[in-house]
Amino acid sequence: MRLLTHNMLSSNIKGVTNGFPLRIEVEKVVEKPVDFNADFLKNMFAKIEWKALVDASRILGYAELPDEAEPSMLDSDDFLKKFHHALLELHLEEGALVCPETDRRFPVTKGIPNMLLHEDEDINNSAAFLNADTV
């Protein structure tokens, strides 16, 4: 699981209002080289919660990202390369994602997070959600 994906995941448990970011428990990190594409990074930058990415990359052992970032930094190749590495090349291979509100653990096995919920945790079981957009 890339940190880009971590940045897109929130706790989906019923009743949780602040499920982002998920805390990371690390058992194994792998690095996989990815072709560099500045346009892709510039496209994604505005969609990234920067602090969550910085914290996650530090937990995975990469401390090169600045605490704060702004769009003007996208002109710097050095910044883009660090952003690229943190976002795409660091993988949480084994470990867990933990709901910040409930401490519920979502395991990550072979790089695959498992976000499946038990029935009593599942917001989709409330009829209101399903009926909101159906006639």
Residues lying near another protein in the complex (CB under 8 A) are found at 1-2, 4-5, 7-12, 19-20, 32, 34-37, 39-40, 43-44, 47, 49, 88, 106, 110-117, 122, 124, 130, 132-135
- Judged by beta carbon, residue 72 or residue 110, the one nearer another protein is 110
Least CB distance to another protein at residue 25 (A): 17
Least CB distance to another protein at residue 76 (A): 19
Question: What is the SS3 assignment for 106?
Answer: strand
Cβ within 8 Å of residue 72, ≥6 positions away? none
Single out the residue of 106, 96, 87 nearest to residue 5, CA to CA. Answer: 87
Least CB distance to another protein at residue 63 (A): 24
- Judged by beta carbon, residue 63 or residue 128, the one nearer another protein is 128
Least CB distance to another protein at residue 62 (A): 18
- Judged by beta carbon, residue 63 or residue 132, the one nearer another protein is 132
CA distances from 35 to 39, 53, 73, 101, 124 (A): 12, 20, 20, 36, 38
- Judged by beta carbon, residue 63 or residue 133, the one nearer another protein is 133
Which residue is associated with the tokens 């995975």? 60
Single out the residue of 41, 88, 39 nearest to residue 62, CA to CA. Answer: 88
